[in-house]
Amino acid sequence: MAEIYGKGIVALKQMLDNKEISPTELFQYFEKRADEHEGKIHSYITRASVDYNADRPTEGKLAGIPIAVKDIFCTKDLRTTAASKVLDEFIPKYESTATARLIAEGAWFTGKTNMDAWAHGASSETSAYGLTYNPWDLDRYPGGSSSGSASVVSAYVAPASIGTDTGGSIRHPASWCGILGLKPTHGRVSRYGVAAMGSSLDSPGPMGLYTEDLALLLEVMAGKDEYDATTSPSPVPNYTADMQTKRTFTLGIAKEYIDDATPDIQKRIMETVEILKKMGHTIKEVSLLDPKYAISAYTIINRAEVSSNLARLHGVRYSNPRNMFGEEAKRRSMLGAYALSHGYYDEYYKKAQKVRQLIKQSFADTFQSIDLILAPTAPVTALEVGSFEKYPFFGEMMDRLNEPASVAGIPAMSVPIGLDGDNLPVGMQIIGPALHESDLLNLSYQLEQETDFFGVIKQGLENWK
């Protein structure tokens, strides 16, 4: 049998198609890896069995492919907690659209990955089910909130995963764990069946080791959904085919974003820029609104939406009582309710919406003269466990370079571009105009071909062989 280790889902599909391995054998391979490594990284809240996957379609783009799912997607007959004790025993009777589309193409689910409770955070510290650890350094955070979805792929306990990104929750852990993560345009992938955090911001998306894997997963999940009125009717491109044609882009670098990062990260970004120039792309300096405005607008809008979205967990029917909410959820609910209350609405929420318009406009103006923006994903690389307590707005601090794209609702992707002095992965964001996911994937694929992501993926796999 050919080597499974380190293969992405496109390559594994080839093995399945060639009958080199059966879906059950493949699934059991990852079960065994989970048995071996879960004690160290703790990626899952709930693991799924072969039996649970027994009825999957045997035909389809993902037939027999194991995928890890963030525990915020409602999965029929598979416990879904959103990492909160409020939903400790919740077993949905319905399937989220994103996971339903994966299932329709034959995907198997390995389990539900750990996360910050309700996706509130960037470390997994707020999970009611304990911390997830960074495979690059087990004393460090994996990032978040899609913490388990990043670590599980980074340690090759699953070949790919899906997460959700509200203010960086896919990109941030992807960068800290040295993998790829794509936050699509808001409305590109349906939110139906995804426990809501910030409704106007939440964007489900793929995470993995190879560009082609993200392209395939996005292709399957994206598109108009009759259960989500905010999904775009725009047809879904063939991302896999689109990325094969090498295109040259005009890439914008914003000083406002670079200055925020550590010197090591700045250095990696500038090195990548040099390589991109050599590859024939044009680099242009651009000026964007200072990310601090995005953080303010994001925080108000997010807290307001959180306070409203968590109101349904009142314990009358399916959930545990509200006193089982963790501290962060309570903090966000109170702050949001305050920002929406009579007499404060204009001062906070309404003002935040105005700022949001300006941010959207700033991006729209910038994209008049360039194709894509490059920026660091996070201002720092993975922090040590325990540093969470030092920052009351830990998530916002870590996500301050992610939130502008979230507030603008535009697609952004994190790709590995090397390691810092501590041997920790550095992520670079590729930000594009609404519905231009194809461009992001195209550039990512070029970098992958040219640099192999500076050996980060390979070394990550080496660490966990």
Which residues lie near another protein (CB under 8 A)?
73-74, 80, 82, 87, 90, 92-94, 96, 191-196, 198-200, 226-230, 304-305, 307-308, 310-314, 316-318, 337, 340-342, 345, 349
Q: How far is the CB of 453 from another protein (least distance, A)?
A: 33
Nearer to another protein, 40 or 76 (CB): 76
Q: 101: which residues sit within 8 A by CB, 6+ positions away?
A: 220, 221, 223
Q: Measured between alpha carbons, how far is 42 from 68 in angstroms, rounded to an integer? A: 13
Told to judge if 146 belongs to the known catalytic residues of this protein, a careful annotator would answer no
Closest approach of another protein to the CB of residue 426, in Å:
33
Identify the helix (H) or strand (E) that includes residue 426: strand 425-431
- Tokens in use for 54? 């027994």
- Nearer residue to another protein within complex by CB, 278 or 342: 342
Q: Which is nearer to another protein, 345 or 393 (CB)?
A: 345
Distance in Å, CB of 65 to another protein, minimum: 23
Sign of CA dihedral 97, 101, 104, 110: negative
Side chain identity at residue 14, one-letter code = Q
Q: Give the integer Cα–Cα distance in Å for 383 and 385.
A: 7
Nearer to another protein, 277 or 314 (CB): 314
How far apart are alpha carbons 162 and 167 in whole angstroms? Answer: 16
Q: How far is the CB of 89 from another protein (least distance, A)?
A: 13
Q: Quick one: which of 317, 403, 324, 391 has its CA closest to 356?
A: 403
* Least separation in angstroms between CB 55 and another protein: 21
Q: Annotated catalytic residue: which of 70, 183, 190, 319?
A: 70
Can 287 be counted among the known catalytic residues?
no
Task: Please state the closest distance from residue 193 (CB atom) to another protein, in A.
Answer: 4
Return the number of the residue (19 or 93) whose C-beta is nearest another protein: 93
Tell me, yes or no, if 43 is annotated catalytic: no
Contact 68, 152 (CB under 8 A): yes
Which residues, other chains included, contact 180 with Cβ-Cβ below 8 Å and sequence gap of 6+? 174, 207, 208, 209, 210, 211, 213, 214, 413, 414, 415, 416, 444, 453
Instruction: Estimate the share of the chain in helix, then strand, then coil, as percent rounded to the nearest 5.
Output: 40, 15, 40
Tokens of 62: 């993902």
> From edge to edge, which strands make up the β-sheet containing 180-183?
44-47, 108-113, 66-70, 160-165, 203-208, 180-183, 412-419, 425-431, 372-376, 250-254, 282-286
Mode of pairing for the β-strands spanning 108-113 and 66-70 = parallel
- Catalytic residue chosen out of the listed positions 84, 96, 145, 149: 145
- List beta partners, residue 122: none
Query: Smallest distance from the beta carbon of 186 to another protein, in angstroms?
Result: 9
Q: Which residues contact 335 (CB under 8 A, 6 or more apart)?
A: 303, 307
- Provide, rounded to whole angstroms, the least separation between the CB of residue 356 and another protein: 11
**Toward another protein, which CB reaches closer, 93 or 390?**
93
Which among 124, 161, 169, 319 is annotated as catalytic? 169
What is the rounded CA–CA span in Å between residue 69 and residue 110?
8
Q: Which is nearer to another protein, 138 or 311 (CB)?
A: 311
Helices (H), 279-326: 291-309
> In the complex with another protein, which residue's Cβ is closer, 53 or 81?
81
Prior bond to 145 cis, omega within 30? Answer: yes
For residues 142 and 147, what is the distance between their CA atoms, to the nearest angstrom?
6
Smaller CB separation from another protein, 43 or 190? 190
For the bound state, the minimum distance from the C-beta of residue 74 to another protein, rounded and expressed in Å, comes to 5
Catalytic center residues: 70, 145, 169
